[in-house]
Amino acid sequence: MNFSLTKEQEMIRKVINDFAENEVKPIAAEIDETERFPKETVEKMVKADMMGIPFPKEYGGAGGDDLAYVIAVEELSKKCATTGVILSAHTSLGTWPIYKYGTEEQKQKYLRPLAEGKHLGAFGLTEPNAGTDASGQQTTAVLEGDHYILNGSKVFITNGGQADIYIVMAMTDKTKGTRGISAFIVEAGYEGFKIGKKEDKLGIRASATTELIFENVKVPKENLLAAEGKGFKVAMSTLDGGRIGIAAQALGIAQGAMDETVKYVKEREQFGRPIAKFQGLQWMLADMETKINAARHLVYNAAYRKSQGLSYGKEAAMAKLYASETAMEVTTKAVQLHGGYGYTKDYPVERMMRDAKITEIYEGTSEVQKMVIAGNVLA
């Protein structure tokens, strides 16, 4: 068993670490405060080929693997969780379904510009009444001649309003339950497709999270992804992979908070010595470090399995469950170790603690991850 990264993965970590330090960290507090989507950062990420890391070169990707992509999300999220989730939602949710299920025509038309970063991707499954129970889809798609007519709405859509391409789930046959759901590739410019309310959130505040509204949106028949009735499978398998991205984001947040905390406890003096000298605090640091490393192994293992073509649903769920709960715990302790200063915006751990919470919720709550894990164990 080999736990070392490849030369490519090592260099990707170094390059994205530099990128995050120089391009992402300096604006992280500002975009959080103002809820400003960092378009300029995304443009720089496009230039460095970060938008299609795990996709083959013939479709505009970088020709890398899932672990390299996970390292990218982790390194960005160490400095700014918003930037991490922009990449994760684009890659895992907006682009991967076309790579996995698209026809050759769909790949040439949509996958290539997404993987090259000319387009930004997003994914629409959740509805006001269809969250954890995704089968309760109320958005409908009715075939009329050469087009499907979409009506309904989606909520909490990451990259909403910023993305060019959306993978959207809609009911093509309500009588069949989850087998009546189909997946569509929807362009931002289609008539009747509107961006609704933008959410005002606790964390990842610069990530655009919006409602999507479909009013008689004509989607060409050839934009049906996979086949009619396969939408639920498309969505669930997409989320299996997406969870690895969110797990990587959570891991990055935890590591970022740890890095800040280690620096702080060495500098901060009380009772005449750096607070790092107190064993009570050392034990907290030891727990934090151990959990982060355990999370990293789970996340990398899930990504590795995905790249190798092995099953990864359970591994992705475990990685996401553990990494997100670790992120929450580590960031909370990081604030505690910073004391009163940690509660202010003068130090980044306050933002990291707010950012960490969403990783326990989106792309399947911790409770959903446990359902997936238990389901696998008992199967």
Which residues make Cβ contacts (< 8 Å) with residue 84, sequence separation at least 6? Answer: 73, 74, 76, 77, 248, 249, 252, 253
Question: What is the rounded CA–CA span in Å between residue 212 and residue 223?
Answer: 18
Can residue 76 be called a binding residue for other proteins (CB under 8 A)? no
Instruction: Return the residue of 28, 31, 53, 288 that touches other proteins, per CB under 8 A.
Output: 53
Run of H or E residues at 219: strand 209-220
Binding flag, residue 49, other proteins (CB under 8 A)? yes
Interface region with other proteins, contact rule CB under 8 A, candidates 49-57, 89-97, 201-209, 370-378: 49-57
Regarding 50 and contact with other proteins (CB under 8 A), the answer is yes
Separation between Cα atoms, residue 205 and residue 142, nearest integer Å: 36
Give the chain's length.
379
Residue 271, both tokens: 């009772």
Q: Which of 28, 62, 80, 316 binds other proteins (CB under 8 A)?
A: 62
Q: Any contact of residue 171 with other proteins (CB under 8 A)?
A: no
Angle between helix axes 313-338 and 349-358 (nearest 10 degrees) is 150
CB 6, min distance to other proteins, A:
8
CB 376 within 8 A of CB 259: no
Q: Quick check: 285 binds other proteins (CB under 8 A)?
A: no
Where in 9-28 is the site for other proteins (CB under 8 A)? 11-12, 15, 18-19
The alpha helices in the chain, defined as continuous H runs, are: 7-19, 25-34, 39-47, 66-79, 81-88, 96-101, 104-106, 112-116, 231-267, 279-307, 313-338, 349-358, 366-378
**Residue 229 within binding range of other proteins, rule CB under 8 A:** no
72 touches other proteins (CB under 8 A): yes
Closest distance between other proteins and the C-beta of residue 51, in Å? Answer: 9
Contact stretch for other proteins (CB under 8 A) within 35-43, 62-70, 98-106, 135-143: 62-70
Residue span 233-262 as binding mask against other proteins, x where in contact by CB under 8 A, dash where not:
------------------------------
Q: Which residues are catalytic?
A: 363
For other proteins, the closer of residues 62 and 353 by Cβ is 62
263 binds other proteins (CB under 8 A): no
| Residue 43 contacts other proteins per CB under 8 A | no
CA–CA distance, 335 with 139 (Å, rounded to integer): 42
The nearer residue to other proteins, 44 or 218, going by C-beta atoms, is 44
Taking the complex as a whole, how short is the minimal distance between the CB of residue 44 and other proteins, in angstroms?
8
282 to 2, 137, 275, 279: CA distances (angstroms): 31, 49, 9, 5
Q: Is 174 in the site for other proteins (CB under 8 A)?
A: no
Which residues, in sequence order, are bridge partners of residue 269?
Answer: 274
Q: CA 33 to CA 23: how far, in whole Å?
A: 17
A 10 A CB-CB count for 379 gives 6
Q: Is 2 in the site for other proteins (CB under 8 A)?
A: no
- Our CB check for other proteins shows the closer of 115 and 163 to be 115
Residue 347, phi then psi, degrees to nearest 5 = -125, 145
User: Two tokens at 36?
Assistant: 């400003």
Of the residues 24, 31, 68, 87, which one makes contact with other proteins according to CB under 8 A: 68
211 and 155 Cβ atoms separated by less than 8 Å: yes
Q: Is 48 in the site for other proteins (CB under 8 A)?
A: yes
User: Is 8 an interacting residue with respect to other proteins (CB under 8 A)?
Assistant: yes
Residues that bind other proteins (CB under 8 A): 6-8, 11-12, 15, 18-19, 44, 47-50, 53, 57, 62-64, 68, 72
